[in-house]
């Protein structure tokens, strides 16, 4: 799928279905119940932020943290304040700095190992199309390392396979270190 406007309906339908699947099994936090998210203090994981703009278009952002609640509070503050590039993008799509309809949901929890979080972050950025379609500016963090652990940055790309007639996303990483060049599946 691409950014081409003719694919908008298709991508929006796909995104909405992905969100519905998450809603069925996870607590969604908005302004109305945000204080309850305090249970996620010191909980590590990968999260999704989503909202609809004035035209009903869905936007997504994927992030990771070792303290999800604290990070979400920073995001909420950042969107309301008038600084920072990331939050300019949020406000531009939102059309306001009113955060009451921004939804936060923890997708995967208890990922204390940062490397594991970065892999799951990248996987979910592809899954929720946050890079091509929405608010993430990169497909993978510059902190993401190859499984070797010591080499520098990687590039990533999306592929897929069909298993039992279902499409399964397959995200690849490749070390850009010349002595490594390892290609690996990001799980």
Binding site for Zn ion (CB under 5 A): 146, 148, 151, 175, 180, 182
Backbone angles phi, psi at 155, to 5 degrees: -110, 160
Whichever of 116 and 180 has its CB closer to Zn ion, that residue is: 180
- Closest distance of CB 145 from Zn ion, Å: 7
Listed in sequence order, the DSSP H helices in 7-157 are 8-23, 68-80, 85-94, 114-127, 130-133
Contact 48, 62 (CB under 8 A): yes
Q: Which is nearer to Zn ion, 124 or 175 (CB)?
A: 175
CB 75 within 8 A of CB 40: no
In the complex, what is the shortest distance from the CB of residue 127 to Zn ion, in angstroms, rounded to a whole number? 24
Give the shortest CB-63-to-Zn ion separation in angstroms: 25
Least distance from C-beta 153 to Zn ion, angstroms?
Answer: 10
Which is closer to Zn ion, CB of 67 or CB of 177?
177
18/173 Cα distance (integer angstroms): 23
Supply the Cα-derived Rg of the chain in whole angstroms: 17
- Closer residue to Zn ion, CB minimum distance, 137 or 183: 183
- In eight-state DSSP terms, residue 64 is E
């Amino acid at each position: 799928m691409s950014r081409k406007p003719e694919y908008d309906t298709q991508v929006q339908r796909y995104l909405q279905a992905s969100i519905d699947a998450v809603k069925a099994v996870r607590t969604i936090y908005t302004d109305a119940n945000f204080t309850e998210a305090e249970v996620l203090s010191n909980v590590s994981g990968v999260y999704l932020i989503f909202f609809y703009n004035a035209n009903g278009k869905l936007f997504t952002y994927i992030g990771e943290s070792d303290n999800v609640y604290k990070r979400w509070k920073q995001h909420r503050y950042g969107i309301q304040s008038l600084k920072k590039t990331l939050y300019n993008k949020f406000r531009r799509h939102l059309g306001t700095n009113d955060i009451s309809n921004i939804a936060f949901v923890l997708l995967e929890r208890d990922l204390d190992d940062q490397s594991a979080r970065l892999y799951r972050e990248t996987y979910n950025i592809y899954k929720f199309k946050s890079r091509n379609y929405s608010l993430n500016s990169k497909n993978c963090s510059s902190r993401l390392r190859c499984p070797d652990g010591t080499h520098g940055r990687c590039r990533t790309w999306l592929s897929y396979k069909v298993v039992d007639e279902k499409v399964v996303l397959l995200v690849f990483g490749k070390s850009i270190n010349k002595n490594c060049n390892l290609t690996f599946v990001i799980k």
